[in-house]
């Protein structure tokens, strides 16, 4: 067993994803065959909390987990996870991570792997599986109805959406971020992401950018609600 751990310098309080890659994850792939002939435009609905949540600490791993478990086709009827749930997941995840410090009081960041373990511990979710085929395999799963949680570097220019909601993975590295991919636009070859950053909630990202991000130490997973 090998575990690759990287604590990421976070230049924004909105970021908080650190990298933990466990070689045992290779035994649990999200099996899917990429068949571009089946690709279509797809948007998976996520049940949103009321009022509109606005992440203020580095709890993006908890937020992403809540969004994944709030998705149509992967949610428990009548249950909508909210920001306090995201913070609770994040807090416990920081205790499960392989580095010192936990929230509260230290906003140390967390990992997608820890959020999966926490969701099981809290009785919110069960099996989780990993995607190793880059953005193509993420898109394949999304068009098949699976909301995918991804953890990647986040670049300074990714904070700036254009009038179409499009962002690009350019500029300097601002830190690490965990977010949901919940849709795909076939004509434009863009993926649709979701955060809980108030007005900055949904965003578009070119599939090629997502692929580069995933291949630069990123990871992607699906976890089923229970």
pLDDT tens digits, one per residue of 11-22:
999 999 999 999
pLDDT computed for residue 199 by the predictor: 75
Joined together, the tokens standing for residue 169 give 């993975």
Q: How many CB atoms lie within 10 A of CB 28?
A: 13
Q: Is the pTM of this model over 0.85?
A: yes
Residue 167 located in a structural domain:
yes
pLDDT computed for residue 173 by the predictor: 97
- 31 falls in which pLDDT band (50, 70, 90)? confident
Structural domain including 118 reads 3-34+50-225
Mean pLDDT of 198-212: 94
For the chain, what is the domain count? Answer: 1
Length of the chain measured in residues? 226
Residue 40 located in a structural domain:
no
- Give yes or no for a cis peptide into 104 (omega within 30° of 0): yes
Residue 56 located in a structural domain:
yes
Mean pLDDT of 83-99: 97
Helix (H, G, I), strand (E, B), or coil: what is residue 110? strand
Residue 168 located in a structural domain:
yes
Mean pLDDT of 119-134: 97
pLDDT computed for residue 51 by the predictor: 86
Burial class (CB in 10 A: 0-12, 13-18, 19+), 177: buried
Burial class (CB in 10 A: 0-12, 13-18, 19+), 206: middle
Cα separation, 117 vs 26, in Å, equals 16
């Amino acid at each position: 067993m090998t575990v690759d751990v990287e604590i990421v310098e976070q230049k924004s309080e909105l970021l908080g994803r650190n990298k933990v890659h466990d070689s045992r994850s290779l035994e649990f792939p999200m099996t899917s065959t990429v068949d571009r002939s089946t690709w279509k435009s797809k948007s998976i609905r996520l049940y949103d909390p009321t009022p509109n949540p606005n992440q203020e600490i580095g709890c993006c791993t908890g937020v992403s987990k809540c969004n994944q478990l709030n998705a149509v086709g992967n949610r428990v009827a009548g249950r909508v996870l909210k920001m306090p749930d995201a913070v609770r997941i994040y807090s416990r995840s920081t205790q499960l991570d392989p580095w010192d410090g936990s929230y509260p009081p230290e906003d140390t960041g967390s990992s997608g792997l820890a959020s999966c373990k926490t969701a099981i511990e809290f009785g919110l979710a069960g099996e989780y599986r990993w995607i190793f085929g880059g953005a193509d395999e993420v898109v394949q799963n999304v068009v098949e109805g699976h909301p995918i949680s991804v953890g990647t570097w986040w670049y300074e220019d990714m904070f700036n959406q254009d009038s179409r909601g499009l962002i690009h993975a350019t500029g300097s590295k601002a830190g690490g971020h965990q977010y949901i991919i919940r849709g795909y636009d076939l004509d434009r070859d863009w993926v649709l992401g979701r955060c809980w950053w108030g007005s900055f909630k949904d965003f578009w990202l070119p599939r090629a950018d997502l692929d580069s991000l995933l291949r630069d130490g990123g990871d992607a997973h699906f976890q089923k609600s229970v």
